[in-house]
Structures are given as C-alpha cells and as structure tokens.
Amino acid sequence: MLSLKPICTFIFTCFFLPLFAQAQESRNILFENVRIFDGKSNSLSGPVNVWIEGNKIKSISASPIPSGDGVTKILGNGKTLMPGLIDVHVHMAFGALSMREMMSPMLSEGVIMEKVGGGAERMLMRGFTSVRDAGGPIFPLKTAVDTDQVKGPRIWPSGATISQTAGHGDFRTPEEKSRRFFGEPSRAERFNATFIADGRDEVLTAVRENLRFGASQIKLMAGGGTSSAYDPVDVTQYTFDEMRAAVEAAEDWGTYVMVHAYTPRAVQRAIKAGVKCVEHGQMLDEKTLRLMKRKGVWLSTQNLVESTPDMDPQRIEKRKPVIEGQAKLWPMAKKMKLKIAWGTDFLFEPELNEQQNSYILRLQQWFSNAEILKMVTHDNGELLQLSGLRSPYPGKLGVVEAGALADLILVDGDPLADLSLIANPADKFVVIMKDGKVYKNLLE
C-alpha cells in the first residue's frame, strides 16, 4: 500500500506552514500567585508560585521564587492553574470532515490535511493539550504538530483501524469488492483510514504496519457499530485467535490493544484475548463490568449526544440500545470503581467539535466536579501511559507537580466550584501552555 505520510508532510511544510503562528519560545516561565488544581485533589491549593524550566515543572513554592533576566513572568492574581485537558477518544481526521466530504470524488490529501490542521489548532485552543486518536489517517498530522509546523495537542496515534470484512471498519462503498478476491484495496484503505484484515496472518500484518509508522496503541474493531453500514450493533467481530494475534503483536512492542465494542459477548472475548482497554461499552452488564474490574481493564467511554432528526434513520435505529445503555453504564462503572476514562468520539459532524468542552459537563449527573476534573486530566493521563515505551512523549501528564510535563491551563475562576468555566475556554482559559510553550496568553 502506498504510504501518504511523506506526501502529506510535504504538503503541510510547503503550503500550510505559513498559516500557523509559532508558540512563544521562552523556556523559563514563572507563574506567580496562582492556586493549583493538581489533577487529583478535591480542593485548590493556597497561593503558590510555579517555575517552568524547559518543558517541565521545576518547582512549586508558597515562597517567592527568585528569577533572573530572560524569564517570562505570568501574574496569576489568584487564578487557577490546572493540567491541560485530555480527550482519549478522538478521530482527528474523521471528526474534521463531514460524510459528504469523505465520500466526495474531490477528496485529496491536501483537503484532508487542511481540514485536520485547522481542527488541531482549535482543539489546542480549547485547552486540550493531549489526545488519543482512536483510528484514522493521523501520522502526517502528528509529525506536523511535533515539529511545530502546526499547532495542536500531543497525539497518541492508533493509525488505521483494524477490522474484519463486514466489520465496523469496513468502509467500502457498495461497488467496492473484496481486496482478497479482486486485488484492489478500497478507497478508505488507500487513504490509510482502515485495514480490512481477516485471519491471523492479515491481522498480524495490519498491527505491525501501524507499529511501523509509530502507533502508540492498536485499535481493533471487536463488535458492531452505529455509524457503519454493514454490521448490526449486536454482532461479535474477530475470532479469539485473530484478536489474540493482535494482542501478541502489540505486546511484543510493549503496548496494548483497545477495542471498539458494546456488548458483553464481544467484550468478554476481548478480555480473554488480553485486551487492556474497551472503547464504548454502553450495553455492558454487571457481570462483564466485574470481569473488567478483576482484570484491571480500562473502560474508555462517552456520554453520546441523543439522536437527531438529521441523522440517517438506520443510524438512529442502531443507536437506540447504545443511548439507552449509557445512562446505566456510567453509574454502574462508578459504583464498581472501574478504571474509567472519558472521550468524545465525534465523527463526520465537524460542528460538534466546538462542543468538546461542554460535553465534559454532561458527566455532572453522575460525578462531582472534582471527580470530573480528575477524570479528564489525571485519569486520562494514566490511560495514555499504557503505551509504555511506545508513548511518543515520555514524562508525566495530567498533574501539576514538580517533574511533570508543563501542559497547563490558567483558568479565570475556580473550576472545582463552577465547572461551567471549562465550557468557556475562549474567555476563561487565559493562558494555555503545552510542553512548556505558551500558545495563548490573554494577560499580556
């Protein structure tokens, strides 16, 4: 399969680089008179000063921190310094394009990169300093972000989704035939959106191909979905042997497999195969959640938007059990004290991206403000660390403490008392820092 990585990186460098301003380059920064939400506590600290050296938090002190020439001072005046937000289920490409754009004959690498580049910058400006991409053509964007050609969050890439024929990642149009029988890869495969892989050998190759390009974890489709054309929600996808092959290949590289699945049968098979993280799971029962608890498996789920009249009637029907189940899943998972992570999972509706922050508030019916903020910072950061040595960004995230990476937001107010501040990043996030660099500063 022809790789689009060098092509798209060239497009970014030559055509889109001039569109994006660079971050402030001072690497010694002092926050003075701030109160800290450290990612774990139920209350803010007293007034402190925070010294940033390079890309890490060097020290935190209630006493004045001496500083010399060349130091950028940010006067907090009692505002709240907290970790950058983390969304562990995004699709940077699929979320930036509508279905009409995806299916357009005019779709090209340039169009995709222009859309996703702008979306990445807006995501960072909403305070999301780290994301886990849950499948799609991501590597060119990640390269552009990491080399400061484009503003955007840190990205933990999965690469192309891996799906069986007629699985949730089988994006073929009706006229596209099987690659195995007719020799032509589908359009989605050519765009590095998915691998359609059947049998142990093909699954191994697909996993290893993603790892070759730098995947930090592997995304496997283990059950039916609501946005796909061929598979009912209730079906179980991939045999145990196929799924175990993916796990073995990932573990050989020191990382893990995450699975798309809703039903008890699909999730139980995935856990037996050694999967470490379940995406979605809104139709799970107590028995399966208890199994996840015993095995230490993460539940990475969402509070999805209700169906709307604009959705395809078939999709509305397929979503019914998922929407009904999510109101039961969250409180059950909390009661059992599962490892819970949060993400948005916006697909093919670019306008939803602007609601990314407000979706955090949807958790208030089950969790306290402190529990929610911990989930979208510290807990999500813990999930990212499952990638081990395949993590593209060594260091501690999701906390404000000495030695942690300097991904920070200065909030005008106390988000523990008023979580709605998080949903107004344009006005209330007065400073946004990633990797020790200031990307936004309304206090200048």
Q: Average of pLDDT values for 350-370?
A: 96
Closest CA to 215 of 159, 253, 132, 272: 159
| Residue 23: predicted pLDDT | 55
Residue 41 clears pLDDT 50, i.e. is over it: yes
C-alpha dihedral over 92, 93, 94, 97, to 10 degrees?
Answer: 120
Percent of the chain whose predicted confidence (pLDDT) is above 90: 78
Percent of the chain whose predicted confidence (pLDDT) is above 70: 93
Q: Over the range 53-71, which residues count as b (16 or more CB within 10 Å of their CB) and which as e?
A: eebbbbebeeeebeeeeeb
pLDDT-derived band of residue 24, with 50, 70 and 90 as boundaries?
Answer: low
pLDDT tens, 246-280?
999 999 999 999 999 999 999 999 999 999 999 99
pLDDT tens, 290-309?
999 999 999 999 998 788 77
Contact 353, 125 (CB under 8 A): no
Radius of gyration of the chain (CA): 22
| Residue 21: predicted pLDDT | 40
Greater confidence (175 vs 155) lies with 155
Q: Average of pLDDT values for 97-124?
A: 81
Q: Average of pLDDT values for 157-171?
A: 96
Q: Average of pLDDT values for 364-378?
A: 98
pLDDT-derived band of residue 336, with 50, 70 and 90 as boundaries?
Answer: very high
In three-state secondary structure terms, 118 is helix
Helices 240-252, 264-273: inter-axial angle, 10-degree rounding:
40
pLDDT tens, 409-432?
999 999 999 999 999 999 999 999
| Rounded Cα–Cα distance for residues 158 and 218 (Å) | 5
| Rounded Cα–Cα distance for residues 444 and 302 (Å) | 37
As to burial, measured by CB atoms within 10 angstroms (0-12 exposed, 13-18 middle, 19+ buried), residue 420 is middle
Cβ within 8 Å of residue 127, ≥6 positions away? 84, 85, 357, 409, 422, 425, 429, 432
pLDDT tens, 201-244?
999 999 999 999 999 999 999 999 988 888 999 999 999 999 99
| Residue 9: predicted pLDDT | 45
In three-state secondary structure terms, 272 is helix
| Rounded Cα–Cα distance for residues 410 and 37 (Å) | 10
